[in-house]
Structure 1
Amino acid sequence: MTAEERRLEESRRHEAHWKRWGPYLSERAWGTVREDYSEHGTAWDYLPHDHARSRAYRWNEDGIAGVSDRHQLLCFALALWNGKDPILKERMFGLTGSEGNHGEDPKELYYYLDSTPTHSYMRMLYKYPQRAFPYAELVAENQRRSRKDLEYELWDTGAFEGDRYFDVFVEYAKASPDDLLVRIEAVNRGPDPAPLELLPTLWFRNTWSWNGERQRPSVRAEPGTARVRARHAALGEYVLHCEGAPELLFTENDTNVSRLFGAPNGVHHVKDAFHAYVVDGRREAVNPDRVGTKCAARYRALVPAGGAAVVKLRLRRGGLDDGSEVGRDFDAVLAARRREADEFYEAVAPSGLSADERHVLRQSLAGMLWSKQFYHYVVRDWLAGDPAQPKPAEARARGRNADWPHLYNADVLSMPDKWEYPWFAAWDLAFHCVPLALVDADFAKEQLLLLLREWYMHPNGQIPAYEWAFGDVNPPVLAWAALKVHDLERRRTGRGDRAFLKRVFHKLMLNFTWWVNRKDAEGKNVFQGGFLGLDNIGVFDRSAPLPTGGHLEQSDGTSWMAMYSLNLLSIALELACEEPEYEDVASKFWEHFVHIARAMNTMGLWDEGDGFYYDLLHTPAGEEIPLRVRSLVGLIPLFAVESFPSGLLEKFPAFLRRLEWFIDHRMDLTEGVACMRTRGEEDRRLFSVVSPDRLRKLLRVMLDESEFLSDYGVRSVSAVHRDRPFELPVDGMVHRVRYEPAESSSGLFGGNSNWRGPIWFPTNFLLIESLRKFHRYLGDGFRVELPAGSGRMATLGEVADELANRLSRIFLRDARGRRPCFGGTRLLQEDPHFRDHLLFHEYFHGDDGAGIGANHQTGWTGLVAALIAKAA
């Protein structure tokens, strides 16, 4: 057992709270729904970036390379100034939804390089230009560009020309759960000496301005030292030790009302005091008494060309008593934690991986672990407003999330990323838990259970989607994730957590019932889930009323429910192995599956001539119009598959009798469903929406390189629509879907998401898993052309392997040393200080594999770790 594994065990047993401190600070708290108290829900405009330095946040904090305790009472992050910027850089900058030509987008370069699951060791890199940061240029140029143009990125501005920038590395190491060592190293990559100010900052989240709370925490300088004492009634006392003799600055974490609203400030020293002091030279801005709720240690350096400035600090409960500045053991502890992180990941990585594969595996998991955040949102209080603040507009009570007043979130959650999506998303989180289970199964299980707790799940059984609209519907993948996490833990430790499966199962039965009652409009087992996470993949916005009227029977919505039924069936059979009463429940979900699978195959969603599934539009006039878009909508039926070994089913004779009786006597319901009686390899039984015959037809389309199959995975829309877009005329207006391999030209969903061509990891991952399940049943005798038309035959297991390799290839160096994810950006491809630092984008170019969309969404793109670790 490695040292990190021992810490995980101590944490699991609550013997030592190694996870009390972590990277739980967001990179953006401005422009979020939680901070939006506008009348019409214009979150991006209500608290913009320009307000962020001056305005106290209501719900959570942000910062660069930041950490906090798990309740985010005390926060620590880095601020910087290069002597030229118009503002002190205390947080990451980016464009709002209306400013970017492809929606919101961070415009910084930073990388999560390493993290252990207990955060006993963490490392991050921020690239800081030495010229004035081009805030206005980034906004103006992106607004000038059309949706047909590429985004204008920081490297396009010349910010890194001549290597005139700093590589700022921030490292954290824990000597104990409440003893955090911090090392900051700023390396001057440029040819000349350059000035730099480093301002590591410690502050308390503002909990006193909202409800009339009188007791404030405090941070106070210890006379004659470079120490700061932070006291909080609930958290206790921590001491920040600063190496050297930095200038200590103090202020309050309170809004600068005067700057923002022209009214008198309630306190003399306000949140943006360090900006005013450092950038504007206003000495009166900081508190001369050296006390407040926010402090910074100001280090000033002229960093030589190729040289570095190093700062060491230590945040510790109770402080040090050995007479040293940051502890005589500082370097030894840091070196030990680095070594222990290496040992831990050496054990995680399978044998036989190349050095580059290990590098991608470790950095993707680092991104997953750094993306944990404290998420605070009490909808009832948000709707009503706070007693000590102006009352919100009346429209708020009937607007966004008004139907979710029970929701009370104040937890550390895995989030898609810390800038563009600093909030949880239900189906994203399900996928996060798979790579997280490789390193911390306990955390993965906690995450899945959290979404099902009564302060998250709606009383009617709906699972909250995401903060922009909790009532939207995400694909029901939590049951799949729970099974996957359970199986990964059992594979690694030899034991499965049955208590976890039972807790998940009972809650998911409530959610399954919600789906059956709310999303089957005609009671025919054909489901309408709305956009179902696939944003703009369809002809219409599927979350809005259809321009034709009527309703849409969704191939993907129905398939997700078939998959959900099989996932719950699998969990029920797993539990029935030791508790027979679950056998009856297994029968329930098997019958649900049969009804849904029959509907999928007999009610017009399958097109025999095309060998493909399509959505079916029902008009008010009674017409049924198949929407012949070749998209993931037609491939998602493949996800609804399980192949059970005969030995498992024979453990449940009553279930098996009901199964056989149903097959014999209800042929009206088993029509069109894959044969459940025919024995496959090792006497397996197949439960699948897609029969082997239809599977062959679907794969002929999916594995065609002129359609879905790219060198880097399966596209979300067939490339056949590049020159032949699907068109549907309605009331004189043509609705169109064209293959778009990169940025979206559609304004749907803010324009920052594109399911009309790019490659997405979550759906590809499920395709790989489904192919492996089919292979276990059909065996080596079932072969298809790979690629279609090539004459090369492959088993379904080999097809799955090839897809996994193509996806992994996005990040790995090719024979020329290039990583496809960097596209044609020479700086990222060739510069030795960039080419091995990875960005994990939301999705990838359907033709060349370049990263597109949110550029730090390790989130579900972190599934590459599971692919490399052979955990698919």
Structure 2
Amino acid sequence: MTNEQQRLQQTGWKKWGSYVSDRQWGTVREDYSADGSAWDYTTHDMARSRAWRWGEDGIAGISDDKQLLCFSLGLWNGKDPIMKERLFGLTNAQGNHGEDVKELYYYLDATPTHSYMKMLYKYPQQAFPYQWLIDENARRGKHEEEFEIIDTGLFNEDKYFDVFVEYAKAGTDDILIKITAHNRGNEAADLHLAPTVWFRNTWVWGRHDYKPTLLAEDDRTIRLHHEKIDVQYLYQEGDGQLLFCENETNYPRLYHVTGNTSYPKDGIHDHIAYGSNTVNPERKGTKAAVHYKLSIPAKGSATVRLRLSDKQAASPFADFDTLFQTRLAEADEFYADIQSTIKDEDEKLVQRQALSGMLWNKQFYSYKVQQWLDGDPASPPPPPERQNGRNKNWKQLNNDDIISVPDKWEFPWYAAWDLAFHCVTLAMVDPDFAKQQLIMLTEEWYMNASGEFPAYEWAFGDVNPPVHAGATYRIFKQDAAIKGRKDYEFLEAVFHKLMINFTWWVNRKDSNGSNIFEGGFLGLDNVGAFDRSMPLPGGIRQEQADATSWMAIYALNMLHIALELASYNKVYTGMATKFFEHFMYIAGAMASMGDVKHGLWDDKDEFYYDQIRMPDNKVERLRLRSMVGLIPLFAVEVISTETLKNNPAFERRMSWFLRHRPDLAQLVSRWSEEGKENKHLLSLLRGHRMKKLLSRMLDETEFLSPYGVRSLSKKYDEHNPFIFCQDGVELRVKYLPGESDSYTYGGNSNWRGPVWMQMNFLMIESLRKFHYFYSDDFRLEYPSRSGKFYSLKEVGTMLAGRLLKIFLKDENGRRAVLGNNEKMQNDPHFRDNILFFEYFHGETGKGLGASHQTGWTGLVANLIKMKNNP
């Protein structure tokens, strides 16, 4: 067992971590407007002057697990109009493809206990182009690419600083900090570093009166006093100047009224950038920085060292380098164990950065909806409109936890289905944290009383695909493989809550009890011709192939969990029966329902489609070949004869059901035909339909991209768009391999062509499950019409290879994810720093959308593991 694995079994090592958000401004939590315009209520310009109510943001920030004390990087190149304390980006309205961070930064390394972490921020030596980025993106339309900071040319002559921030823990409350700034240019350049420590403001809202303090003990020591924090000292090495102010709002600047202090939150900023007399001469407050004025020679570097500690030390830096090297060596040891079967060094690099990004994107997330709706005693009451506005039905939601978020700038909040995929990756390095995250979402103070899971803070009542059960069972198995024992207590706890959520789906999203579901949005943004989250007029209902498939998948996952639990407590046998029968009814409904002979399956096109049901029960199919129609492939599980023998009551009831419903048994299942090694298949697809669906998916003129499975068939080009007429309005959908040209659902993501990692991951898993039943005897043409045939498992492996081509170097040393920017492709200070985007161009593999979405895109780490552990 490695040293890091030992720490994972000890308490306290996760108390401190990368829990500070990259963006607090523009979030729902900080919005107290009447109309819910969160992006306008708090802005980047306001952020340096406003004390936040619910959390804190910063660059490379760390905090304790209740975010009472924070530390992050501040810096200024002497030319910017403002000091750089937080990452800049565009709002949803400013970006031509929605909100978008406009900075270059990379999460390079991390261990699961945060015993070692490393982050890189690239800072131009010229004035940061705030207005240029705003203006150029405003000029560009939906049909043009986003204008990024790398496109400004500010990095072309290497006139920038690479600022590395590293943390190493000497103990649970003893953190070594090393900041190294490299001048990549050919001329000497000045840089102001201002590492900053501050207390989250918990004292001005009228709920808690206690106010902590920071004060200078001497020129190199800041003393910290907080009744709930063990860390008591910030030591600095060198000649940095200690500066102090209060973490309180600058009311005169923002609201033109008198404030509570002469040294508000932006006092240090104003002093460094403008020379203002805005820092406390008594050297005390609730926010402090150590200000270093560095002159860094051409191609040279400068390093500053600090230490946050619970110990008084006469020589706090005596053991600094030794401890740092030890923690780095232990991080290497930990990943060497994780990557023991991987031979390719580039695969190791990509996987380690993917996992590190997952660990960096943990965030302290506080949002107590009842308090948010009502306002705080010491603050003006919120406008009355908010009582009938966003999240009004989620008053029980009381979040105050460390949560895995998709991206701490673009999505600094959790999303239900994203989180499930995060946990599948996080379980590779920290199964206990993954299990805790899955349990957390099912707690009473997260779940709605109705049984619904919260989707995300912009609309907790939106519906995400129900993938929680699948993640739970995967992580149960991963955890058992790592630890050598099964955690039935975890599985049982989540299963009970999932039953409530399953019932919510059945009661709320199947309006006429037909087992055909109407999930709505389901996280696929603009996948259809119209906004699927909006109700259709005149009693028209959209019956969805993806919603119905997700429920079939849900039933199968619950069946598997129930059978697993029944192996140690037979009371769960009845639940296994329930979910088996529910799957069969859903599968039957998909195949043949009402007045449509073949249900959601279209015999002519041999594909699954959504359909619209009119009030008179007539049906119109939406013959748009998208990812929606491939999701039925995910509904597959294999059950062994041995499992049935261990659950005789379940087998008897199942056999009775199949005898009395031969229509369902023959239509949707291969149950009566044992596969090799006495296995049975449960699937929405028999062999013929599976082959037809896969032949479309593996057709390079339709779904199969050089970099994975596209989210929309390529057949819908400029000359052949899908057209749907609604109320006299012609709606068109065409293949868009890159960014979206649609404003549907905010217009900031695209399901009309790009490759999405999480959907491809589920596809590969499904192919492996089908192979487990059919074995090598079942051969499939790959790609379609190529004349080359492979087993289903081999097809899954080759599909994984296409996805890995996005990140790994090709024969010319280029990474598809980085696009055509020659600086990023060839420069040694860029080319091996990986960005894990939200989705990927369907033709080139270029990264698109949120640039640091090391959430579900972190699944690339699982694919590398899968490739090297066949």
TM more than 0.5: yes
Instruction: State which of 501, 518, 536 in structure 2 corresponds to 1:511.
Output: 501
Structure 1 residue 671 displacement after superposition: 5.4
1:511-530 Cα offsets, whole Å, 9 max, x none, are 00111111001100000111
| 1:753-803 C-alpha deviation (Å, 9 max, x unpaired) | 111110001111111111111111111111111000000001100111011
**TM-score (norm. length: structure 2):** 0.98
Q: Check conservation: 1:845, 1:852, Cα contact below 8 A.
A: yes
| RMSD between aligned residues | 1.1
Q: Is the 8 A contact 1:540 1:546 kept in 2?
A: no
Distance in 1, Cα, partners of 2:610 & 2:122: 46
Of the three residues 232, 241, 244, the one matched with 1:250 is 244
Whether the 8 Å CA contact 1:350–1:869 is kept in 2: the answer is no
Check whether the contact 1:674–1:692 (CA below 8 A) recurs between aligned residues.
Answer: no
Q: Which residue of 2 aligns with 1:40?
A: 35
Partner of 1:642: 637
Aligned to 1:285: 278
Q: Name the structure 1 match of 2:398.
A: 408
- Residue 224 (structure 2) pairs with residue 230 (structure 1): yes
CA distance in 2: counterparts of 1:264 and 1:158, whole angstroms: 43
How far apart are the structure 1 equivalents of 2:342 and 2:55?
Answer: 43
Deviations 1:186-232 (A, max 9, x none): 00000000000000000000001111643310000003x31001111
Separation in 2, partners of 1:849, 1:755: 15
Displacement of 1:236 in angstroms is: 4.2
In structure 2, C-alpha distance between the alignment counterparts of 1:578 and 1:259, rounded to whole Å: 64
Question: 1:74 is matched with which residue?
Answer: 69
Question: Which of the numbers 596, 599, 602 marks the counterpart of 2:589?
Answer: 599
Shift of 1:358: 0.3
Q: Give distance in 2, aligned partners of 1:674 and 1:818.
A: 45
* CA shift digits 1:538-564 (9 cap, x unpaired): 111111022575010000000000000
Give 2:543's aligned residue: 553
Do structure 1's residue 220 and structure 2's residue 210 form an aligned pair? Answer: no
Cα deviation, residue 682, structure 1: 1.1
Q: Which amino acid aligns with 1:7?
A: R
CA contact (8 A) 2:173 2:231 kept: no
Distance 1:350 1:638, change over 3 A: farther
Q: CA deviation at 1:623?
A: 2.7
Residue 81 of structure 2 is matched in structure 1 by 86
Runs (4+) of structure 1 exceeding 6 A deviation are: none
CA distance in 2, matches of 1:407, 1:849: 39
- Where does residue 264 of structure 2 map in the other structure? 270
1:301 aligned residue (272, 294, 297): 294
Counterpart of 1:265 in 2: which secondary structure? coil
Q: What's the counterpart of residue 573 of structure 1?
A: 563
Query: C-alpha deviations, 1:292-324, integer Å up to 9, x for none?
Result: 00000000011000111100000001332xx22
Query: What is the aligned partner in structure 2 of residue 855 from structure 1?
Result: 851
* 1:31 and 1:44 in contact (8 A); partners too: yes
Question: Does the aligned pair in 1 maintain the 2:405–2:419 contact within 8 Å?
Answer: yes
Q: Secondary structure at the match of 1:301?
A: strand
Give the C-alpha shift of residue 666 in structure 1: 1.6
Aligned to 1:140: 135
Say yes or no: does 1:865 pair with 2:866. Answer: no
Question: Partners of 1:703 and 1:212 in 2: how far apart?
Answer: 59
Worse-superposed segment, 727-736 or 381-390: 727-736
Counterpart CA distance in 2 for 1:103 and 1:266 is: 36
The alpha carbon displacement at 1:672 in A equals: 2.2
Report the residue type matching 1:699 in the other structure: L
Q: Does 1:828 align with 2:824?
A: yes
Give the structure 2 partner of residue 762 of structure 1. Answer: 758
Structure 2 residue aligned with 1:817: 813
Amino acid at match of 2:8: L
For 1:311, the equivalent position in structure 2 comes to 304
Aligned residue in 2 for 1:166: 161
Matching residue's letter, 1:556: D
**Which residue does the alignment assign to 1:114?**
109
Secondary structure of 2:194's counterpart equals strand
Counterpart in the other structure of 1:663: 658
Matches of 2:616 and 2:514 in 1, distance apart? 19
Q: Deviations over 1:327-351 (max 9, x none)?
A: 2100000000010000000000141
The more displaced of 667-676 and 584-593 is 667-676
Distance 1:209 1:721 in 2: 56
Say which is worse superposed, 603-612 or 470-479, in terms of deviation.
603-612
Determine whether 1:382 maps to 2:376.
Answer: no
Counterpart position of 1:4 = 4
Q: How far, CA to CA, are the matches of 1:533 and 1:350 in structure 2?
A: 36
Deviates more, 1:848-857 or 1:538-547: 538-547
Q: Specify every segment of 5 or more residues in structure 1 that has no aligned partner in the other structure, as ranges.
A: none
Asked whether the 8 Å contact 1:568–1:589 carries over to 2, the reply is: yes
- Say if 2:503 is the partner of 1:486: no
SS in 2 for 1:240: strand
Q: What is the SS of the residue equivalent to 1:296?
A: strand
Contact preservation (8 Å) 2:231, 2:308: no
What is the aligned partner in structure 2 of residue 837 from structure 1? 833
> Counterpart of 1:369 in structure 2: which amino acid?
L
Describe how 1:405-804 pairs up with structure 2 within 5 A: 405-546=395-536, 549-603=539-593, 604-670=599-665, 672-722=667-717, 723-804=719-800
Q: State the distance in 1 between where 2:527 and 2:225 align.
A: 52
Identity of aligned residues (%): 56
Question: How far apart, in 2, do the equivalents of 1:358 and 1:776 lie?
Answer: 28
Q: 2:13 aligns with which of 18, 21, 35?
A: 18
| Cα distance in 2 between the residues matched to 1:244 and 1:656 | 73
Judge conservation of contact 2:665–2:671 (CA < 8 Å) in 1.
no
TM-score (norm. length: structure 1): 0.98
Question: Quick one: which amino acid aligns to residue 252 of structure 1?
Answer: E
1:192 and 2:192 aligned: no
Name the aligned partner's letter for residue 184 of structure 2.
R
Give distance in 1, aligned partners of 2:358 and 2:207: 37
Residue 668 of structure 2 aligns to a residue whose secondary structure is coil
The CA deviation at 1:675 is: 2.5
Paired amino acid for 1:140: D
Shift, 1:646, TM fit: 1.2
Q: 1:662 to 1:716 in 2, by over 3 A?
A: same
2:22 matched to which residue of 1?
Answer: 27
Instruction: Give the C-alpha shift of residue 621 in structure 1.
Output: 4.6
Tell me, yes or no, if the aligned pair for 1:96 and 1:104 is still in contact at 8 Å.
Answer: yes
C-alpha distance in 1 between matches for 2:483 and 2:381: 53
- Cα distance change on mapping 1:331 and 1:237 into 2, 3 Å: closer
Letter in 1 for 2:258: P
Helix, strand or coil: the match of 1:540?
coil
Whether the aligned pair in 1 keeps the contact of 2:63 and 2:69 (CA below 8 Å) is yes
Match of 1:339 among 317, 329, 338: 329
User: Following the alignment from structure 1 to structure 2, what is the Cα–Cα distance between the partners of residues 730 and 537?
Assistant: 16
Tell me which residue corresponds to 1:808: 804
SS of the residue aligned with 1:364? helix
> Which runs of 5 or more structure 2 residues have no equivalent in the other structure?
594-598
Q: Is the 2:207–2:376 contact (alpha carbons within 8 Å) kept by the matching residues of 1?
A: no
2:327 corresponds to which letter in structure 1? R
Tell me the number of residue pairs that the alignment of Structure 1 and Structure 2 aligns: 862
CA distance in 2, matches of 1:670, 1:528: 25
